[in-house]
Amino acid sequence: MIAPSRLNHRLALAIIAFLPLTGHAAQTSETSDAPPPATLSLDEAVARALASNFNVRIDRTNTDTARDEAIIADADYTPTFNAAAGVSRDQSAGTFNGTIFVPGNLFDRTTSRISVSQRVPTGATVSLGGNLNRSERDNINPAYNSDAFLSVRQPLLKGAGTAVNLAAIRRSRLGIERADLDFRGTVLDVVRDVEAAYSRLVFSRRLLDVRAFSLEVAQKLAEETRAKRDSGVATDLDVLQADVGVANAQRDLLLASQNARDDEDQLLALFGDRPESEIGPVAFDEPEAAPSVSFARSYKLALDNFPDHASAEIAVRQARIDAGVSRRNRLPTLDISGALGLNSQEPDAGTALESLPSGDGYSWQLDISLSVPWGLTADRARHRQSLANLNRAETRLRQIDQDILVAVRSAIRAVETNRENVRISTLATELSQRQFDLEKARFDAGLSTFRRVQEAREDLDTAHVNELQARINLRVALADLARLEGSTFERYNIDLARR
């Protein structure tokens, strides 16, 4: 076995324990001519995920779809232009009256029609238009008929009123707000997932550093144990124990490397990158001191900013609109319609059109129609469904209120607990380091056994890992709390209007 170079283990342990969480042991060697990869900060990781994360891209299309739904609903109240033209011919069969053959009559007709119709919020449909028809019999004496009309059809029961007819527009506009809130929630989820994945990657790479250093220490102890055996101070059993320690350290390093690659892939997945991509060094540059937290403040922020809560409130408003429409539509269909028209008949088209306003021809129509499905069972069932949907939406809102309360309490406790855990684990690491240094000095002086040094080293490794895990857990707890408060946008200067 090739002995590693000697190093100041006290300095190395201090660097691992107290410097910012950086890099991992398997990075580019110092002898390489290639420049080292740039450090990927947490802010850069968040920006990279928001630019290409699949969920963000999918939900962005949902907001566009919601806006198109509002345009479609508004289009029901835009004027519609109609135009039609047609030509027809009717040739009757000839007859024989006993002495001579009487040919049949030839009747030609040309029709043209233009109109504009408009639906209004009361449910009525208003149409304004005109016709110009040309008729000719046996190719002589053509006649032109012209008329202009105004017609209105208004429902009186089912489908009547602005509340029913504007429901689709109001619902679609609420749908835009809801889609924006859902997109906001997706962004918060992605940022929180990136923070957690980034923290795990930092932890796994730091753990890789710890395992690499542990392997180097184990190799050094094995080398010193062989030297002691050669001088008669140690036994072959001590050497075997040292070799087993090296093998265990190699296994731990291999597992740590696997975990680091897995965590890197998890972060790459949030970026929307392919698995063969790589992430350079990662580091937490900002201070790790946890800010003070308050349940009252966090709970108010959550109620004001939590997208799921606001989206659930809009869902209740949409359900109330649907319930109002279904309540009105339980009534029978009763429509009234009327039409008023002017008409003229002249030998040419120009005269027919000119004489239309001043002619004596006119027409009017008024009718009423009633339609009652037997028992109105379908409409009543639809109303019951809408009431059930409203009840479900209101229950869901109350559930989210409760979930927010529980989640904020849990998040506050997690921050406070992990902050204390960081303090305790830091002290435990310092104690384990001193114990290892003392036991190693005793071993060098021949006053301790290799087994005791090995146990002290394992205790130090465990303390390092526990401290790392405590710091990562604190960061994840803060990320969870920020997700609930909606403060993530301010933290990372995220402007959804530009996304």
Cβ-contact 412, 482 below 8 angstroms: no
Confidence band for 497, pLDDT divided at 50, 70 and 90: low
For the ranges 285-299, 328-342, 455-469, the maximum mean pLDDT occurs at: 328-342
pLDDT at 442 > cutoff 90? no
Cβ-contact 345, 361 below 8 angstroms: yes
Q: How far apart are CA 70 and CA 89, in angstroms?
A: 47
Tracing tokens 């102890």 back to the chain, one arrives at 221
Segment 229-237 shows an average pLDDT of 81
Which residue pairs from 259-267 have beta carbons closer than 8 angstroms and sit at least 24 positions apart in sequence?
Answer: 259/204, 259/207, 260/24, 260/26, 260/201, 260/204, 260/205, 260/207, 260/208, 262/204, 263/197, 263/200, 263/201, 263/203, 263/204, 264/201, 266/197, 266/200, 266/201, 267/45, 267/194, 267/197, 267/198, 267/201
Domains in the chain, please, with CATH?
A: 9-26+37-69+170-318+389-498 (1.20.1600.10), 83-119+124-158+333-371 (no CATH)
Instruction: Using alpha carbons, list the distances in angstroms from residue 468 to 125, 155, 194, 264, 285.
Output: 71, 71, 18, 17, 15
- Closest by CA to 26, choosing from 224, 390, 281, is 281
Cβ-contact 3, 266 below 8 angstroms: no
List pLDDT tens digits, range 369-387: 999 988 888 989 999 999 9
Lowest mean pLDDT among 259-263, 274-278, 322-326, 465-469: 274-278
List pLDDT tens digits, range 163-195: 999 999 999 999 999 999 999 999 999 999 999
Helices (H), 22-135: 42-52, 54-75
- pLDDT the model gives residue 337: 93
* Stated pTM of the model: 0.73
Q: How far apart are CA 477 and CA 483, in angstroms?
A: 10
